[in-house]
């Protein structure tokens, strides 16, 4: 399991003073991905147009290039502004299978200054039911700290 206190401290140290969204996303994707062996794919999808997400920095195999807000788990997180925890991706209506190995997924909205939606953080696992509400809360706190002033 992730040592979220250590992860948050590393990320705080690495990102202090950085304001570039892509640099922050790249650093977080790397650090989060390496923090837990449950995390099979870790990355960001950026808002690039109204109701359109495009792949951003990530770790793992190839991701989907473009995801509309109307489709998939990432789209649901962007559309609703709510964390999506999916214990079984095959049971999620409209799931987009970017990788056949994905069994479960967590997606968190990423907000910048003034609550502006920057994108979503997507973490996939090759294990079923890999994510908890504790994961959601701890990851959300890291995202808030890093991106709130961007």
* Span 77-87, pLDDT tens digits: 999 999 999 99
Query: Across the chain, what does the average pLDDT equal?
Result: 96
Residue 97 in contact with residue 89, Cβ under 8 Å?
yes
Please name the residues in contact with 77: beta carbons below 8 A apart, sequence gap of 6 or more.
Answer: 83, 84, 107, 108, 109, 120
Instruction: Please give the residue range of the domain that contains residue 142.
Output: 4-147
Counted domains in the chain: 1
* 3 state DSSP class of 138: helix
Does the pLDDT at position 4 exceed 90? yes
Q: The domain that contains 88 carries what CATH number?
A: 3.30.450.40
Q: What is the pTM of this model?
A: 0.97
How many helices (H) does the chain have, and how many strands (E)?
4, 6
User: Model confidence over 41-98: pLDDT tens digits?
Assistant: 999 999 999 999 999 999 999 999 999 999 999 999 999 999 999 999 989 887 887 7
Binning pLDDT at 50, 70 and 90, where does residue 110 land? very high
26: left (phi over 0), alpha (psi -120 to 50) or beta: alpha
């Amino acid at each position: 399991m992730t040592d979220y206190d250590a992860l948050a401290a590393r990320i705080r140290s690495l990102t202090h003073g950085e304001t570039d969204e892509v640099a922050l996303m790249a650093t977080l994707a790397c650090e989060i991905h390496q923090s837990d062996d449950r995390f099979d794919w870790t990355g960001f999808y950026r808002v690039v147009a109204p109701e359109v997400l495009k792949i951003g920095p990530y770790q793992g195999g190839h991701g989907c290039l473009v995801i509309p807000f109307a489709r998939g788990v990432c789209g649901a997180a962007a559309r609703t502004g709510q964390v999506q925890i999916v214990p079984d991706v095959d049971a999620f209506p409209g799931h987009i299978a970017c990788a056949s190995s994905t069994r479960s997924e967590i997606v968190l909205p990423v907000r910048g200054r003034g609550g502006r939606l920057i994108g979503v953080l997507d973490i996939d696992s090759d294990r079923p039911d890999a994510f908890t509400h504790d994961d959601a809360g701890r990851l959300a706190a890291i995202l808030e700290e890093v991106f709130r002033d961007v």
